[in-house]
Amino acid sequence: MQYQSFDEYWLAYLRAHSKPATRACHYFGTILGLFVGLAASVLVVWWAWLAIGPIGYGIALLSHPLVQGNRPFARRPLWGLASDLRMLWLATSGGLSSELCRLQHNAT
C-alpha cells in the first residue's frame, strides 16, 4: 500500500502495533538501543555502535511474529523509525491513548 502522508502511515503503523505487549517490546528495544548508543558515545567504544541496530530492531522485529502475530511493519524505514520514536514519546507522555482512540474512530 502507498501512503500519501505520514499520518496515513502512522495510523497503519499503530494498527500493526495494536497489542500492548508488542508496543512494550518496541519500547524496550528502542530504549535499550538508545542506551547502548549513549554508552558508546560516552565510552568511545566504536564497536558498540554495531550493536544498536540488532538490539533495537531485533527485539522489535521479533515481537511481531511472537506477540502480534503479523509481519514487521517496515514499509518505509525512516517513517518507521519516526513512528517508533513517536509511539515511545506518546506512551511516556500520556498521549498514546488518544491516538489509539483516533485509530479506532478511523476504523469504523
- pLDDT string in tens for the chain (108-residue length): 688 899 999 999 999 998 999 999 999 998 988 888 888 888 877 777 787 778 878 888 889 888 888 888 777 788 988 999 999 999 999 999 999 999 888 875
Residue 17 inside a domain? The answer is no
Q: Which domain holds residue 73?
A: 27-107
Residue 53 inside a domain? The answer is yes
d(CA 12, CA 53): 23
Residue 5 inside a domain? The answer is no
Q: Do 64 and 58 meet the contact criterion of CB atoms below 8 Å apart?
A: no
Place of cell 521479533: 62
d(CA 9, CA 16): 10
Residue 70, amino acid: N
Residue 102 inside a domain? The answer is yes
**pTM given for the model:** 0.81
Tally the domains of the chain.
Answer: 1
Place of cell 558508546: 40
Residue 56 inside a domain? The answer is yes
Residue 3 inside a domain? The answer is no
Q: Say which DSSP state 25 is in.
A: H
Q: What residues contact 14, with CB distance under 8 A and at least 6 apart? A: 83, 87, 99, 100, 103
Residue 1 inside a domain? The answer is no
Residue 10 inside a domain? The answer is no
Q: Do 11 and 2 meet the contact criterion of CB atoms below 8 Å apart?
A: no
